[in-house]
Structure 1
Amino acid sequence: MSNSRRPRRPPARPRRREPESVLRAGPAEFAAALPELLGFPPVESLVLLFLGGGDRPDRRMSLTLRLDLLPAEHDAEVARQVVARAEALRPWGALVFVVSEDPDDQVVLVRPDPWRGTPPRTDVLDRPTVPDLPRRSLVHAVIEELSTLGAQTVDAVLVRDGRWWSYPDVVPATGAGPGTPLDPDTSRLTGIAALRGEVIDPDRDAVVARAWPTRPTSAELAHVCRRADSALDVRIARGASLEALVDEGWDAVRRAVAACAPGSRAQLGDDELARVGVALTLVPVRDRALALTAGDDDDLLAAAEALWADLNARLPDELAAVPALLLGLSAWLRGAGVLAVAALERSLVCEPTSMAELVLQAVVANTEPQVLRAVLTDPEDLRAA
């Protein structure tokens, strides 16, 4: 079915005030909150939290990237590629995290960081080597690439065995030291994530699995979906107006979103689930759902993502393409890149569409969330696009 009319815009409302800075939280809080920021606890990973860029304040988080650690001989190439992903963003700065269980390196002298000198050691004869944090060469390579990009390195941190160390704070004359215990309970970032009900998966594979349900659709739900789809076909064949069908479908979507509000324990029944899934096959309803997902009401967005996830998990494949698309978009806009890519890939497997392909390309290109929001909520705003 083609889109014969432009979807109604959501009613205008004042936008919520953006926080002036995320750096009221220090590096220790960010280190403790990495599982919340990524959606899963990173293991043997390089994580960069970029700040500023575009029209964002300099100290507001704008992009999170995570890479598996590779052997040290690839440090220069890894640094080049990961920083290049943020080139279009032109960030003000970045926080660099190395998550690794590697032991300390034993070195004659801790290699100085690019921003400071090296005090001499006076005990070389008594202690030929001192312990240094692992993967310092990777950290230096990332710092150099950030500097070339014109971005500051706010801090570089090792996270290991429930403790953290700041690379710049390791004194060349004395070595690594015991580090500081992570304290997730006092991190404001972990508290915010808990209030929003964000899911923390045990690992990256579990995040991907959320986009690819393994439980088959029940026979009862599959039957109800076929019946709802046939009923829509009959109404179209009998000359029902597209406007009436779209308005009815959108009302069903909005009711389902309201039922998924944070704190709700309700689960949609088969009839409601099928009604919403079929309604989303109408392009104008899908486009309104895209605009809703790109909105700025935190509670509404949380409810919408919960609905998209439920639809993606329970509907048959022939109706899951749009919910998976919406789940992928929602995940990207809140910074969950792994889930976003997985859900968008599933959408394309269920039904290849140009919209899912375009959103996936935007995600892979690290398109800033505010750019996608501007395009989806006001497609005629060419300046924002």
Structure 2
Amino acid sequence: MTNNHEARTPSGQPSTGPSGVTDPSRITLRGPAELADALPYMLGFHPTDSLVMVAVHGEGGRFGGRLRVGIPPNPEEWEDTARQAADCLILGSERRGTKPDGVIAFLCQDPGRGESAQRVMTGLRPLAQRIRLACGALDVPVLEALCLSAGRYWSYCCPDRRCCPPEGSALTVPGTSVMAAAATFAGLQVRGSLRDIERRLAPLRGPEAGEMERALDGAAAALVPKILDGATREEVGAETVLLARALMQRMALGSPAEGGPDADDRDDALLGHDEAASLILGLQDREIRDIAAEWMEGEEAAPALRLWRALARRCVGAYGEHAAAPLTLAGWVSWSTGDEPTARIALGLALRADEGYRFAQLLHHACNEGIDPEGLRECLRMERRRREPRRGRPSAGPRRGTTGPPGRRIRANRGQSGSTTGSEQ
């Protein structure tokens, strides 16, 4: 493949300096090797078990919108997945002003036990063909379709065995390419793999998960009588906010914000099951969750993000749907602090936990549409100032007359809701 494509790093629009040298925010990618190398920098992480599609615009092949969906394990779902992904990327680009002139597709999947990367490539070929047909039905050609597996890549479009041999070609050594240099210059990070990021938000397993579920059962049994009493709802809300603040302070004082591979284990050790259960149930109240969303910047952001991740990991067993609240808060803090890739993943997981969770739906859409989060940050700042009494002491609880008690999402013997495939655009 000889087509050139232009990738832009987040530093801004392409420009030239006084010497006429092209600014590193604009990089020309030539051939499948450089396209494959650029993918983690475009997404901010290494995709795993993912179909990624990138819109291409103009004669120079400028990259536009991006979309990522999980590859369904059942091939019978591939046709619908390809059609929905093509519709989402192409029609979404049209709604934002410009229909793509082409699409680049990446199929990323590592081999299973006893499986070779070449076999993965062969097995995914029908999905690549369905993607080409789905995009062609919308009058947009697939300019290149690549399979990335086990450190190698294959082109489904290039018949030239000299540049695209049947055994595949090795990916560029990480950190050695032009794209890597430009990304470093622009401050762009690759935050591990998709699987790694999702693992940090996944529910606990083993005996500890059983202990946590029993703590949630106990907290629910203690909370319901308080709510039915009717006079203590604001007290419950105030207690929840104060508990959250205390746990954030414990996070801030307990260990470094990102202290290496064991950081999540250390954060988990800072939380007792009972207090985590109380906070998880309290966050099911919309007003309490909205107060928690105000801790999205400054010194509060890092400990809040660690707390929301830890709580998401504690939503186990029948309480899996309760993870929507802490996952959404984790996604919001990530987006607010500039980590859009992690935000999209966390918000996608929130919708997988509860596909009808409105706050996650709104944030996921806004993040994917490239909306500036400052508008929402300012609204939350204004609400915080409005709620704080003039004497300067913040009010901990929600306002009277708000909808629903903290216990309204407590559902006995309830598993996770049906999952949805998260997307990025």
TM-score, normalisation: structure 1:
0.54
Where do residues 106-121 of structure 1 align in structure 2 (5 Å cutoff)?
A: none
Residues 228/367 of structure 1: CA separation in 2 closer, same or farther (3 Å cut): same
Match of residue 287 from structure 1: 290
Alpha-carbon shift at residue 311 of structure 1 (Å): 1.3
Tell me whether 1:200 sits opposite 2:195 in the alignment: yes
CA distance in 1, matches of 2:286, 2:324: 15
* Corresponding residue SS for 1:186: coil
Alignment-mate amino acid for residue 290 of structure 2: D
Match of residue 48 from structure 1: 53
Alignment-mate amino acid for residue 48 of structure 1: M
CA distance in 2, matches of 1:238, 1:171: 73
Conserved in 2, the CA contact under 8 Å of 1:321 and 1:347? Answer: yes
Where do residues 356-367 of structure 1 align in structure 2 (5 Å cutoff)?
A: 356-359=356-359
What are the superposed Cα offsets for residues 192-223 of structure 1, whole Å, 9 maximum, x if unpaired?
A: 666x5666359xxx869925856223488559
Match of residue 152 from structure 2: 163
CA distance in 1, matches of 2:361, 2:233: 37
Tell me whether 1:273 sits opposite 2:267 in the alignment: no
Where do residues 311-330 of structure 1 align in structure 2 (5 Å cutoff)?
A: 311-314=311-314, 323-328=323-328, 330=330
CA distance in 1, matches of 2:219, 2:278: 8
Residues 245/72 of structure 1: CA separation in 2 closer, same or farther (3 Å cut): closer
Where do residues 126-137 of structure 1 align in structure 2 (5 Å cutoff)?
A: 134=125, 137=129
CA distance in 1, matches of 2:318, 2:347: 20
Where do residues 326-365 of structure 1 align in structure 2 (5 Å cutoff)?
A: 326-328=326-328, 330=330, 334-335=340-341, 340-347=347-354, 356-359=356-359
Tell me whether 1:67 sits opposite 2:61 in the alignment: no
Residues 102/250 of structure 1: CA separation in 2 closer, same or farther (3 Å cut): closer
Match of residue 95 from structure 1: 104
Conserved in 1, the CA contact under 8 Å of 2:312 and 2:323? Answer: yes
Alignment-mate amino acid for residue 288 of structure 1: I
Alpha-carbon shift at residue 287 of structure 1 (Å): 0.7
Conserved in 1, the CA contact under 8 Å of 2:45 and 2:193? Answer: no
Residues 144/229 of structure 1: CA separation in 2 closer, same or farther (3 Å cut): same
Residues 300/165 of structure 1: CA separation in 2 closer, same or farther (3 Å cut): farther
Residues 34/344 of structure 1: CA separation in 2 closer, same or farther (3 Å cut): same
Q: 2:202 aligns with which of 210, 214, 222?
A: 210
What are the superposed Cα offsets for residues 243-276 of structure 1, whole Å, 9 maximum, x if unpaired?
A: 9657635533642563572225443231653564
Q: 1:248 aligns with which of 242, 251, 264?
A: 242
* Corresponding residue SS for 2:105: strand
CA distance in 2, matches of 1:198, 1:275: 32
Alignment-mate amino acid for residue 353 of structure 2: R
Conserved in 1, the CA contact under 8 Å of 2:350 and 2:360? Answer: no
CA distance in 2, matches of 1:331, 1:22: 29
Residues 71/49 of structure 1: CA separation in 2 closer, same or farther (3 Å cut): same
Structure 1 vs Structure 2 CA RMSD: 5.7
CA distance in 1, matches of 2:251, 2:64: 29
Alpha-carbon shift at residue 29 of structure 1 (Å): 1.6
* Corresponding residue SS for 1:63: strand
Alignment-mate amino acid for residue 344 of structure 1: L
Residues 137/377 of structure 1: CA separation in 2 closer, same or farther (3 Å cut): same
CA distance in 2, matches of 1:175, 1:247: 58
CA distance in 2, matches of 1:360, 1:243: 21
Match of residue 309 from structure 1: 309
Alignment-mate amino acid for residue 170 of structure 2: P
Alpha-carbon shift at residue 368 of structure 1 (Å): 2.1
Tell me whether 1:37 sits opposite 2:48 in the alignment: no
Task: After superposing the two structures, state which structure 1 stretch, 63-72 or 238-247, moved more.
Answer: 238-247
Residues 227/185 of structure 1: CA separation in 2 closer, same or farther (3 Å cut): same
Alignment-mate amino acid for residue 311 of structure 1: L
CA distance in 2, matches of 1:363, 1:238: 31
Alpha-carbon shift at residue 97 of structure 1 (Å): 1.2
Conserved in 2, the CA contact under 8 Å of 1:290 and 1:326? Answer: no
Task: After superposing the two structures, state which structure 1 stretch, 139-148 or 64-73, moved more.
Answer: 64-73
Q: Percent identity?
A: 19
Residues 291/240 of structure 1: CA separation in 2 closer, same or farther (3 Å cut): closer
CA distance in 1, matches of 2:218, 2:152: 52
Match of residue 262 from structure 1: 258
CA distance in 2, matches of 1:285, 1:326: 12
Residues paired across the two proteins, number: 311
* Corresponding residue SS for 2:92: coil
Q: 2:35 aligns with which of 27, 37, 44?
A: 27
